[in-house]
Amino acid sequence: MPPNTDPHHYSMAPKHKDPALIAQDMEELLKLALDRGAREARLTSGGAVVFDESLARVDKALEDPDNLTEHWPVRMPLDSLWDSLRSFRYGVFFCCLAPLGMPDQGQGWIEDVYYRQACLQAASIITALESDAFNRGYHMASGFGAGNCRSVLCHKESRCQALVRAKGCIHPYKARPTLAAVGIDAKAMARNLDVPLVPDRVNLYGLVMVG
């Protein structure tokens, strides 16, 4: 296959000087989120992310002595993270739905396999968006998902392997902090971005910030 000679293709730097091409890239990321199963997807920016530290405090309060939900990082430095997120120029906020009749598991342990699958779908959208953004030349992308990664990805493990000395996360390309864990108010963002709430369903939100 001959090399792509288009100067605006993927990571070629000139494209970042072209607002029209940037807008096209963001629309493609929106389409990708929807194609991967998101019910709704909206463009956002670092300045539009809504922070609420009380959400992170609630998440930490749910850590249990049996290590069912505890995972790395146990204590995330929110101030520096928030400053970093505010610096992102673009972002994709999306929503998936848990199965009908499922209670909201929040940041706690997930027992139901179908609820877990819904969280996995959100996780797959995040990794797809991060990968596609990188391939388009946006080399700074940071995703946040739904569902405690300890109970979504490692429910068969005795504990989070990243907390075990000399070991690391066994799902580094899938595991992401939840929005609540880093103090992002997903419901407030959904309202601000006109993402309709589906009654009687758990709305699972995800966010990928793109540099």
Q: Tell me the per-residue pLDDT of 134-143, one tens digit each, with 9 for 90 and over.
A: 999 998 899 9
Question: How crowded is residue 125: how many other Cβ atoms within 10 Å of its Cβ?
Answer: 25
Q: Tell me the per-residue pLDDT of 157-179, one tens digit each, with 9 for 90 and over.
A: 888 888 776 678 889 888 898 89
Question: How crowded is residue 49: how many other Cβ atoms within 10 Å of its Cβ?
Answer: 24
* Structural domains of the chain, count: 1
Between 206 and 72, the more confident residue is 206
pLDDT at 199: 85
Give the residue numbers spanning the domain of 66. Answer: 18-210
- The answer to whether 82 and 194 are in contact (CB under 8 A) is no
CA atoms of 52 and 9, how far apart (whole Å): 38
CA atoms of 210 and 63, how far apart (whole Å): 30
CA atoms of 105 and 132, how far apart (whole Å): 30
Within a domain: residue 74?
yes
Q: Tell me the per-residue pLDDT of 51-97, one tens digit each, with 9 for 90 and over.
A: 988 887 655 545 554 555 555 555 666 778 889 999 999 999 999 99
CA atoms of 126 and 176, how far apart (whole Å): 9
pLDDT at 72: 54
Within a domain: residue 201?
yes
- Enumerate residues 6+ apart whose C-beta is below 8 A from 43: 26, 30, 90, 91, 92, 93
Within a domain: residue 141?
yes
In sequence order, what E strands does the chain have? 40-44, 90-97, 141-144, 203-210
pLDDT at 208: 98
* Residues found in the chain: 211
Within a domain: residue 1?
no
Within a domain: residue 9?
no
- The answer to whether 30 and 24 are in contact (CB under 8 A) is no
Within a domain: residue 153?
yes
Within a domain: residue 8?
no
pLDDT at 195 over 50: yes
Q: Beta strand 90-97 with 203-210: parallel, antiparallel or unpaired?
A: antiparallel
Within a domain: residue 5?
no
